Amino acid sequence: MEVTLLKAKIHTVVVTEANVKYNGSITIDADLLDAAGIKKYEQVYINNAINGSRIMTYVIPGKRGSGEVCMNGGAALHAKVGDTVHILSFVNMSPEEADSYQPTLVFTEGNNQIKSVEKYNY
């Protein structure tokens, strides 16, 4: 048996672009992805703190240091430029592994730049 746990959360980023004509996904500054340990094409959930929308899509790495968070394709219908979103990734593991597991949290500040990277420690 496996359980699904939070792997990483990029907390409180601002959508910088919404491109409905793209084929889908979310483009995220590669520095944010590396800090969170999220891989290209990895499945993520996007929770919109403004309108309550929650969607699942996959990641495309954006330009490093750009602060880019671009909703692409159908995802662009769930968040507009300026909306605050949280990006979450999950992982499956055994209950034994889960007992000591700590997810990664990436906190941001102006222009979606990394403020701190922490581990959940509850």
Catalytically active residues, by annotation = 25, 58
Backbone angles phi, psi at 36, to 5 degrees: -85, -15
Per-position DSSP letters for 36-85, written without gaps between them: HTPPTT-EEEEEETTT--EEEEEEEEE-TTS--EEEEGGGGGS--TT-EE
Give the integer Cα–Cα distance in Å for 100 and 60. 30
Between the alpha carbon of residue 68 and those of residues 17, 35, 98, 107, the distances in Å are 8, 15, 32, 15
